[in-house]
Structure 1
């Protein structure tokens, strides 16, 4: 009863904050905008030192060097002089539970995990809360797009991709049901806890668990090939895996996990595969290259998993994979993952500090991730015809000291960068300044 009362108090407090600091979703772009004189980081490895970025009706219509073009007077309704500043495409957070959980301790606000082992029919998007107070805290660091992903079970469910300024999940959608997520079993079991790790022992059920996955996928494939059948919603939900319209995201870290997971997928006729986590992916570049499989690399701000590994190994993984020609993006799942989503650009910054070229590191959270998720036709780079989802920063957006956004746009809409945290900061600054 005591814990229940605490949970109720927390929920009431959250609702109180939400009432006082409710954000209003930005209206559709009605006036054309030109951003001039900024250093534009296009997200594809290229930089324009003195750029002209124009957009209208939510789409980019101009991406050019301002010194090589001449614009007619009044060509744009609004002109923003961004001299000395930087323009970036919006950052993308894959494998995220943003909007699925508000307060971990309040069960009624936690909707990331469904009962059952094989849940391909569970659609995370219908549980997505576009008005989550956590979402507004990630936008000020440039994170404007996310892949909303369920957790739990062997097959967790289906993810969808959203932009992070919307009234409802329907308004937020960029790509619905983009992929199905498979949490591949580990070949080892670790005892103990994070603060006092125990020994690692072989998973005696590993072979049986793989057989279960194989059996499910085999039945699903057979079901979707059969035209005269009794309807099965669970198996029907896997159709996209076999016709190539959906991606199978295999969550795996160990080398054996990764190799076995890919083999299981390929043997069942699944060709669009992405590895999520991929701690040992640098040991499997042969099979990744051969099958054109990308990797959404686990949070790099972490310690090595084994005592005999280089302490800097997590920071270097992106470069190890990139140097082998693997398409790499960064994801941020783990402890406090929703709150830590704001740190996504700094993960890329760490990869740059440990060997990657800065513009290639930027691609880890822009173009590469967009390509892996199949939304590179909409976003990920600053190119004519794509969504005007971008932001202006006072400095290097991959450096926590200089990532200071002045303006951000989602599909051309100028969005608010204010949060309930910044409002409270302003409120109490004013309070104590009055004394």
Structure 2
């Protein structure tokens, strides 16, 4: 009875936590509006100074230089953005936002499913659109994300969402976009807590684990080419990999593993493939380029993993891959992954300090990410006919010192930039007499 009492208290605390300061999703756009005078960073490498962007029914209908773009101002609301900057909404690739709220409360954790092969597990139905963590992404311009399950050899199926919704049905902009695999490790470290040498050593079971994965794919392919007399949900979920309607995402870091993963996909006849993590991707860039394989690059703010790697190995890898002609986006997995997703624009900013131009770095978290996720027909850049999912910043959005949002829109809806964090900041600023700059 005492245990049940404690559980009830924890659930009540969780409910209070989830309800505190949650912002109501914005209503649909009802009147055309124009953003005038800002520097527009298109997301495809182009920049328009003193721009005009007109939005109607959630869609960009006009974009161009102010001096050469006629505008009937009386028919719409005008947002004066002179001296400011406009960007497409940033996109978090390979994220888990909305799948876990409080790590210590099991009832709020839907990160992974039991079992080794779970291609039929759909992350979207576990997505919590009212998560306080999701809400806190928006003040940094992070407006879209991929929701990815974790755990097992085949972790499940991901979906793409926007970050201002009542529920997962409202949030989803593309469901079941791809299937995710954790590639076997070709090397492993000794278990130091058992007295083993903690250094790297070859994984004796590597070939066996790759064969098991290959056999599973062969069985799935045979099932989908057969009469399907007996329903097999995991195999059915994999059909999209063989008809190119789904992307295959393979989590792998080492050069040998990346090479083997590319050859594996090629032998399976899978043409839509992305390497996730790709710590040593730059060392096999030629293979990735030859096979048209894109990369979701490991978190930029990471230490080198091998002692003979440069201190800035992870910082400069984006530049090396872009120069090799590979389609690259950034992902944020690792320690405190969900919290660190808000730092996505600043990870991109770090790549500028190590070789990329600002517009190339911007593409890593906008149009490149949208292309990999298959949503570039509507998101990822500021172009006529695309969704008005964008934001206005007082300064450079890739610099944490100047990325200060004044407006943000998802599908033309003017969304709130208030979160539980801004609420607490204002509360205690008033208490201690701190004035806003």
**Equivalent in the alignment of 1:139:** 138
**Equivalent in the alignment of 2:126:** 127
Instruction: Give the alignment of 1:216-255 within 5 angstroms.
Output: 216-227=216-227, 229-255=229-255
The question of whether the paired residues in 2 share the 8 Å contact of 1:8 and 1:106 is answered with no
**Equivalent in the alignment of 1:112:** 111
Distance of 1:202 and 1:90 partners within structure 2: 42
Higher mean alpha-carbon deviation, 245-254 vs 14-23, is at 14-23
The question of whether the paired residues in 2 share the 8 Å contact of 1:31 and 1:56 is answered with yes
Distance of 1:97 and 1:135 partners within structure 2: 10
The question of whether the paired residues in 2 share the 8 Å contact of 1:379 and 1:387 is answered with yes
**Equivalent in the alignment of 1:53:** 53
Q: Tell me: CA distance 1:55–1:73, structure 2 relative to 1, closer, same or farther (3 Å).
A: closer
**Equivalent in the alignment of 2:35:** 35
User: What TM-score do you get using the length of structure 1 for normalisation?
Assistant: 0.96
Distance of 2:83 and 2:240 partners within structure 1: 46
Q: 3-state DSSP class of the match of 1:198?
A: coil
Q: 3-state DSSP class of the match of 1:304?
A: coil
Whether 1:21 aligns to 2:11 is no
Distance of 1:85 and 1:53 partners within structure 2: 13
Deviation at 1:4, TM superposition (A): 9.7
The question of whether the paired residues in 2 share the 8 Å contact of 1:17 and 1:420 is answered with no
Q: 3-state DSSP class of the match of 1:311?
A: coil
Distance of 1:346 and 1:191 partners within structure 2: 35
Whether 1:166 aligns to 2:171 is no
Aligned residues, how many?
Answer: 432
Distance of 1:310 and 1:99 partners within structure 2: 35
Distance of 2:181 and 2:145 partners within structure 1: 19
Per-residue CA deviation, residues 347-400 of structure 1 (Å, 9 max, x unaligned), is 000001110011000000000000011100010000000000000000000000
Per-residue CA deviation, residues 17-50 of structure 1 (Å, 9 max, x unaligned), is 4333121010111111100000100000000111
Instruction: Give the alignment of 1:176-215 within 5 angstroms.
Output: 176-191=175-190, 198-215=198-215
**Equivalent in the alignment of 2:303:** 303
Per-residue CA deviation, residues 117-172 of structure 1 (Å, 9 max, x unaligned), is 01000000000000001001111000000000000000000000000100010001
Distance of 1:183 and 1:28 partners within structure 2: 40
Deviation at 1:6, TM superposition (A): 8.4
**Equivalent in the alignment of 1:409:** 409
**Equivalent in the alignment of 1:287:** 287
Instruction: Give the alignment of 1:341-360 within 5 angstroms.
Output: 341-360=341-360
Deviation at 1:266, TM superposition (A): 1.3
User: What TM-score do you get using the length of structure 2 for normalisation?
Assistant: 0.95
Q: Tell me: CA distance 1:127–1:292, structure 2 relative to 1, closer, same or farther (3 Å).
A: same
Q: Where does structure 2 lack aligned partners over 5 or more consecutive residues?
A: none
Distance of 1:4 and 1:432 partners within structure 2: 40
Q: Tell me: CA distance 1:71–1:147, structure 2 relative to 1, closer, same or farther (3 Å).
A: same
Distance of 2:201 and 2:5 partners within structure 1: 41
CA RMSD of aligned residues (A): 2.0
Deviation at 1:73, TM superposition (A): 3.6
Q: 3-state DSSP class of the match of 1:79?
A: strand
Q: Where does structure 1 lack aligned partners over 5 or more consecutive residues?
A: none
The question of whether the paired residues in 2 share the 8 Å contact of 1:59 and 1:411 is answered with yes
